[in-house]
Chains A and B, each alone.
Chain A
Amino acid sequence: MGGSRGRSRGIERAGIRPFQAFLEENREIVYRFLVASAGRGNADDLFQETFLAALRAYPRLAHGSNLRSWVLSIATHKVIDAARAARRRPVAVADPDEVKPDPGRDLSGSPADNRPEHLMLDPREPLWRAVRALPAKQQAAVVHRFVLDRSYQEVGMALGCSEEAARANVSEAVRKLRERMNHVDAVH
């Protein structure tokens, strides 16, 4: 009798949210992460790549997965991969301690893409540039921790490393940011 209600067949997969609901629940945090760690010029494409990768893998997800952690770790890998790809391109990479505009660090590698970003983030530009100049992993770590307000355990999950390593990445990033910002203050 129970078998005549078709729904019973899917019980082992129950608990996986419909993708549309998952998208609605996570689009904003993913976007904020991408803007903060890869810049506006890259966030749009990385957003598409992140959710397409998530959609492809979605039916294979384990029951009871933490979907938010999962999609943010996909986004983190997309950002780190894009940063590595950009670094391999034959564009001038500025001295990391240099505070002047630094198009070579931009993931797109195209100075034209940087311009609107300058305008939009003008008030905090030096800090912005300092974050963008960090190594990709530290940059992602600092964004997870301070922009998204996630715990070190969650930062570690997103980066694929231990909680201690996440903590170390964040503190090293903060040390570098402070150094650079002091330098900016001294220059102005």
Chain B
Amino acid sequence: MWMPFTEDDASGLDGLDGLTDLAGADAEPRSRALAERFEAVAVEEGLADVTYDFADSPFGALLVALTRRGLVKLDYPDRDVDRELEAIAAGVSPRIIRSARATEAVRRQLEEYFEGKRRTFDVPVDLALSSGFARRVLSAAARIPFGSVATYREVATRAGNARATRAAGNALGSNPVPIVVPCHRVVRTGGGLGGYTGGLARKMALLRLEGALGPAASSVG
């Protein structure tokens, strides 16, 4: 049995001061490079339940997150990324890894869409962050074609409850995958635009991009 020191460590280290910086000054860049290698290996080996990265758009960088089943989250830049990823950690899985490679197809398709070169998205959608009626509403909205619009009442009807227009509006307002599930194509019966999760200006910009809104239209219902 050895005798523990009674004095504390500063005196215990006399003559051994080199110890405190034994690990070197390059730990920050070196560990960043290693973390990037780790991310690639983890994704390749299928250990990430969720991958994410950012897509360029006229609105700024969009967060896109994928599960093995499909696109689970798309967020406009004004949302707090940490909070959004925490919500995914809680609602889907905390095994979330950033990956340019895993998200490449969806990022490219979004860029093509904004360049006017793409009318439909060829990526599966995972509505794991929605449930019940909201999920049915989003599934109904997903079938509205590029260039056209539907009313809240129509979407509520297709989701199985024609009277639940307000609930349908709420479901569309908390759409976890805007743009790809085109909740911007849902408008009011009287011709008003209604609301939008990313703000009304973005809804108008998307509808204009799709040719579903005349350049001068601005009727806010």
- A contact residues vs B (CB 8 Å cutoff): 3-7, 9-11, 13-21, 23-24, 27-28, 30-33, 35-36, 44, 47-48, 51-52, 55-56, 58-59, 120-121, 123-124, 127-128, 131, 142-143, 145-147, 149, 164, 167-168, 170-172, 174-175, 177-178, 181
Contacts and interface: CB of A to CB of B under 8 A. Distances in A.
A174 to B, nearest CB: 5
9 contacts: A4-B131, A17-B94, A19-B95, A35-B23, A127-B18, A131-B19, A147-B21, A168-B1, A172-B2
B31 A47 contact: yes
Interface in B118-133: 128-133
A7 B91 contact: yes
B96 A20 contact: yes
Contacts of A167: 4-5
Contacts of B96: 18-20
A58 to B, nearest CB: 6
A27 B35 contact: yes
Given A5-B174, A52-B42, A31 B95 contact: no
Nearest to B5: A171
Contacts of A30: 31
B165 to A, nearest CB: 15
A9 B134 CA distance: 14
Given A20-B98, A52-B41, A14 B12 contact: no
B31 A31 contact: yes
Interface in B1-39: 1-5, 9, 12-16, 18-24, 27-28, 30-32, 34-35, 37-39
Given A18-B94, A32-B27, A143-B22, A127 B16 contact: yes
A14 B3 contact: no
Nearest to A11: B90
Contact of B86 (A18, A23, A48, A164): A18
Nearest to A47: B34
Nearest to A145: B9
Max chain A CB contacts within 10 Å: which of B3, B15, B19?
B19
Nearest to B52: A20
A30 B49 CA distance: 23
B41 A28 contact: no
B189 interface: no
Contact of B94 (A13, A44, A52, A127): A13
Contacts of B87: 7, 10
B4 A19 contact: no
Given A18-B96, A131-B22, A181-B15, A51 B38 contact: yes
